[in-house]
Structure 1
Amino acid sequence: MSAKTLTEPADAAPTSGETLLEVNGLTKHFPVMGGFPFKRQVGAVQAVDGVTFDVHKGESLGLVGESGCGKSTTGRLLTRLLEPTGGTVKYLGQDITHASRKEIAPIRSEIQMIFQDPYSSLNPRHTVGTIISGPMEINNINPAGGRANRVKELLEIVGLNPEHFNRFPHEFSGGQRQRIGVARALALNPKLIIADEPVSALDVSIQAQVVNLLQGLQRELGIAFVFIAHDLSIVRHFSQRVAVMYLGKIVEIADRDALYTRPRHPYTHALLSAAPDADPDNNSIERIRLTGDVPSPLNPPSGCRFRTRCWKAQEKCATEEPPLLQIGGNDAGHLTACHFPEDGDAAAKRAAAAVPAARTTED
């Protein structure tokens, strides 16, 4: 095995600049029922609340944040596995926010998803061939040479033996199962893939194999990715732009290098400082230990949702919600939702020592 770390970000895949996906004010509230016999809504879990971003053709956008911030729910809203409560989702200019099954059918094949758990996302009663050919059968796609040959081609593309066509999921390891999930997502030649923490359930020794497989496919096929993860080193390696979520909202979004070297939002600083360091004796990293727990999405704080844990919070933070805006003119496209953002130069000095170290290898 030749070791390849994730320390240095890979070169960005070329993008056309054309907007593929436009998300504006996307919201998802899950009702909470109470009373007797539980037919009255007494509240709502504000899982996603006013998320706005876009994805360009061939681009990879990372979506990061701690558990429960709404990352996975956002991914399922983009693929219309969940019905949005509010906001809009446009794909190539077409509004698909509340499109019917018939209306969304023509573009369903162009937006695919890779699920987090490679064990539960594959039907244990179906063979690999049936799992990968299923999307083609549902969409009445008959590739040249037949579906069986196409499945074998896909297995080879993702690094599996085409002869495993008739095997069942339980005969494969976790990494191999995730590769099967990748092959299934590629079966319909998508333009956009939502990867929901595709390596978090895998052993660290094979995480880089799957990440670099996805990156290679993005380069060769020009597929756009929304890469959902909480591992900052993997996101930095894979994504060209990164959006940071906290309690259902995006608090910062920027180019990869700008966000990791000049973070402006205090929460982004805290995330970067919490990344594990390979040197236990390294005292140069400023560790930011947030106090308190993440507030409940049933009753989020007024104003800035991060204010209850922020060391820079003032009275204004409790009364006014900070808009997601560009601060200063140095970093175009670097948007921050904070009334008192970090100074860019000072942030760069502190962040330089806090860049996450690689911890995985590739064969």
Structure 2
Amino acid sequence: MSSTSPLLEVSGLTKHFPIMAGFPFKRQVGAVQAVDGLDFTVGAGESLGMVGESGCGKSTTGRLVTRLLEPTGGKISYRGQDITHSGRKELAPVRSEIQMIFQDPYASLNPRQTVGKIITGPMEVNDINPAGGREKRVRELLEIVGLNPEHFNRFPHEFSGGQRQRIGVARALALNPKLIVADEPVSALDVSIQAQVVNLLQELQREMNIAFLFIAHDLAIVRHFSQRVAVMYLGRIVEIADREDLYGNPRHPYTKALLSAVPEATADDQPARERIRLQGDVPSPVNPPSGCRFRTRCWKATEKCATDTPPLVQISGSREGHLTACHYPEESQVTDLKKSLTA
């Protein structure tokens, strides 16, 4: 990442959804702690992958960053500007630079509008008139994402799922964004189409220097696309590092368990990788465990894990920028390699 200040900086980001009960006067009886104290940055032109089990708060984080949801606490800074609780007028110039690609290409496009109208919409809202007119720009965008410019007047139902997602990508590009939040952009697509869409996004990132917050549950796709990866568990980031370091040297027990579940092709004479099977279910975000939230399923948990919340810091044996939130981290494979070389 660049040594200059990051494009996006998030600190202590929190989102609690209130639970209301009672009749006729409803009152708050609890809260779903969807996101609880996230800290991360995204540099200009960088892609940060965000992985974790369903319900860990990844999509909520994406909607908080784009300000589709109002944060309960914490701070979101974009290009040095605090946009945490900015109003509509203050957000207007920022919204054009932060765009989103949604998970479901069938639900994210208006079936009553033509492709041209869908992609032109953001330009109309932001009163942008590109050189040569909006229709010319839309046709250019369709060509950029691999679609026929002549499809300008077609409706979404005339396209396949992969083509619809390309339309969603074109819509996100309409305002020349600096940051795109991609919320599981390929999980609803056929496996044969996923690679095409991911490669398209990678190409756009390189050519246009767009930063990505890439949210997904497929660890192989995240490794292919993202330069850094953040691992989430029950509303918190438990580990964040460069992709090669995180996949090759996981320090948090949850990360190690998560990576052990990835299918791996091995030769007949090579031992298969150990599969770690976690016990129990993910606790409810309404009443998460005290201390470390992973402790109820962790094989290393002690009383300290129940009383002290581990901070997200660089621990002994980790490379610079490799942060882990664990009192009893896994052995560093980097350290082990150094020991074997000096033995």
TM range (shorter): over 0.9
The corresponding residue for 2:297 is 309
After superposition, residues 1-363 of structure 1 pair within 5 angstroms as 17-37=4-24, 39-278=26-265, 283-328=271-316, 330-345=318-333
Specify whether residues 32 and 348 from structure 1 end up closer, same or farther in structure 2 by C-alpha distance, changes over 3 A only. farther
Deviations for 1:278-314, whole angstroms, at most 9, x for unmatched residues? 4597742110000000000000000000000000101
Q: Determine the C-alpha separation between the residues in 2 that align with 1:199 and 1:229.
A: 8
Corresponding residue SS for 1:66 = coil
Is the 2:14–2:72 contact (alpha carbons within 8 Å) kept by the matching residues of 1? yes
Question: Higher relative contact order at CA 8 Å, sep ≥6: structure 1 or structure 2?
Answer: 1
Q: Determine the C-alpha separation between the residues in 2 that align with 1:165 and 1:338.
A: 52
- The two structures have a TM-score, normalised by structure 2, of 0.95
Q: Determine the C-alpha separation between the residues in 2 that align with 1:144 and 1:246.
A: 46
Once the 2 structures are TM-superposed, how far is the Cα of residue 151 of structure 1 from its aligned partner? 0.1
Is the 1:160–1:176 contact (alpha carbons within 8 Å) kept by the matching residues of 2? yes
The corresponding residue for 2:341 is none
Q: Determine the C-alpha separation between the residues in 2 that align with 1:312 and 1:38.
A: 46
Q: Determine the C-alpha separation between the residues in 2 that align with 1:123 and 1:348.
A: 55
Amino acid at match of 1:286: E
Is the 1:263–1:347 contact (alpha carbons within 8 Å) kept by the matching residues of 2? no
Specify whether residues 347 and 215 from structure 1 end up closer, same or farther in structure 2 by C-alpha distance, changes over 3 A only. farther
Is the 1:28–1:47 contact (alpha carbons within 8 Å) kept by the matching residues of 2? yes
Once the 2 structures are TM-superposed, how far is the Cα of residue 346 of structure 1 from its aligned partner? 8.1
Once the 2 structures are TM-superposed, how far is the Cα of residue 329 of structure 1 from its aligned partner? 5.4
Q: Determine the C-alpha separation between the residues in 2 that align with 1:347 and 1:82.
A: 42
Is the 1:27–1:49 contact (alpha carbons within 8 Å) kept by the matching residues of 2? yes
Once the 2 structures are TM-superposed, how far is the Cα of residue 15 of structure 1 from its aligned partner? 5.2
Is the 2:318–2:332 contact (alpha carbons within 8 Å) kept by the matching residues of 1? no
Corresponding residue SS for 1:61 = strand
Is the 1:116–1:201 contact (alpha carbons within 8 Å) kept by the matching residues of 2? yes
Amino acid at match of 1:328: S
Once the 2 structures are TM-superposed, how far is the Cα of residue 33 of structure 1 from its aligned partner? 0.5
Once the 2 structures are TM-superposed, how far is the Cα of residue 37 of structure 1 from its aligned partner? 2.5
Deviations for 1:12-51, whole angstroms, at most 9, x for unmatched residues? xx85744100100000000000122361100000000000
Q: Determine the C-alpha separation between the residues in 2 that align with 1:322 and 1:291.
A: 21
Specify whether residues 335 and 178 from structure 1 end up closer, same or farther in structure 2 by C-alpha distance, changes over 3 A only. same
Q: Which runs of 5+ in 1 are unaligned?
A: 1-13, 350-363
Corresponding residue SS for 1:19 = coil
Aligned length in residues: 336
Q: Which runs of 5+ in 2 are unaligned?
A: 338-343
Corresponding residue SS for 1:53 = strand
Is the 1:197–1:228 contact (alpha carbons within 8 Å) kept by the matching residues of 2? yes
Amino acid at match of 2:285: P
Is the 1:262–1:348 contact (alpha carbons within 8 Å) kept by the matching residues of 2? no
Corresponding residue SS for 2:214 = strand
Deviations for 1:118-140, whole angstroms, at most 9, x for unmatched residues? 00000000000000010000000
